[in-house]
Amino acid sequence: MPVIRSLDDLLAVADPAWPSLRREIGRAGNLVDVIPPAPTAAADLHRLQVTVRSTLGAVIYESGGLLIDHGWVRLLGSGDDRLGRSLVSWNLICGLAVPGDSMLLVGDDAVGGLFAVNIGRFAGPPGEIHYFAPDSLSWDSLGLGYSDFVAFLLNGDLAEFYGNARWDGWQAEVAAMAGHQAMSIYPPLWAKTSETGERSRRPVPLQELVGLTGALETRP
């Protein structure tokens, strides 16, 4: 039976990750909005049983989450009203045990893509980030651990990563959308029938979109 570490043990580290991560955020190539941590941050950290030496622990304990590139990517932390959920609550809403399930949802994007840490659900190394792509309805490994994934979000070429999933004027539409929503696009992105900008779009609850795509039932 695993030993449950106290909150003091999770916080008592010599080299917490947040100071260096905050510096990286300050010089990030992509626009980053750091949400202040929620009052539940300590409880969430304790539930996850990760220390603040880890990047994941730092994001949970020191932030409500990160809104990246005009809010196109939402990296989950302890939550706030803009996100409408925390990392812990979102996993529970999606029916995943925290901790100890086969994957841990750590972020998502404006078109319903999901980012998850592999804890045995997928082939490949534990701890690797997998992405559920709405244009293929499949999970794919990014070949990155959580820390490298965050570094990619801060400075990577997100325009290239998302390719044709974006449309002219997406910045204003996404910035106006609630953090618990995603764009329902019709025809859907996996139906490669037209340019994304020519399809109809409307914001819907992300949970609804996850159910429609079957992301949590899909395996590689």
At residue 114 the predicted structure's pLDDT band, cuts being 50, 70 and 90, is: very high
Give the pLDDT confidence score for residue 188 in this predicted structure. 87
Model pLDDT for residues 185-208, shown as the tens digit of each residue: 999 898 877 788 788 999 999 999
- Mean pLDDT, rounded, for 50-72: 98
Model pLDDT for residues 153-164, shown as the tens digit of each residue: 999 999 999 998
The domain limits of the chain are 7-213
pTM of the model: 0.96
At residue 86 the predicted structure's pLDDT band, cuts being 50, 70 and 90, is: very high
Give the pLDDT confidence score for residue 1 in this predicted structure. 54
Give the pLDDT confidence score for residue 220 in this predicted structure. 63
Residue 218 clears pLDDT 80, i.e. is over it: no
Query: Do residues 45 and 57 make contact, with C-beta atoms less than 8 angstroms apart?
Result: yes
Model pLDDT for residues 119-144, shown as the tens digit of each residue: 999 999 999 999 999 999 999 999 99
Mean pLDDT, the chain, integer: 94
SS (H, E, C) the chain: CCCCCCHHHHHCCCCCCHHHHHHHHHCCCCCEEEECCCCCHHHHHHHHCCCCCCHHHHHHHHCCEEEECCCCEEEECCCCCCCCCCHHHHHHHCCCCCCCCCEEEEEEECCCCEEEEECCCCCCCCCCEEEEECCCCEEEECCCCHHHHHHHHHHCCHHHHHHHHCCCCHHHHHHCCCCCEEEEEECCCCCCCCCHHHCEEEEEEHHHHHHHHCCCCCCC
Query: Do residues 154 and 30 make contact, with C-beta atoms less than 8 angstroms apart?
Result: yes
At residue 3 the predicted structure's pLDDT band, cuts being 50, 70 and 90, is: confident
What burial letters (b/e) apply to 142-170, b meaning 16+ CB within 10 Å? eebbbeebbbbbbebebeeebeebbbeeb
Interatomic CA distance for residues 145 and 127, integer angstroms = 6
**Which range (2-6, 50-54, 62-66, 71-75) has the least confidence?**
2-6
Better-scored residue on pLDDT, 98 or 152: 152
Identify the CATH class of 7-213. Answer: alpha beta
Model pLDDT for residues 91-102, shown as the tens digit of each residue: 999 999 998 779
Residue 27 clears pLDDT 80, i.e. is over it: yes
Give the pLDDT confidence score for residue 219 in this predicted structure. 67
Residue 29 clears pLDDT 60, i.e. is over it: yes
Query: Do residues 93 and 83 make contact, with C-beta atoms less than 8 angstroms apart?
Result: no
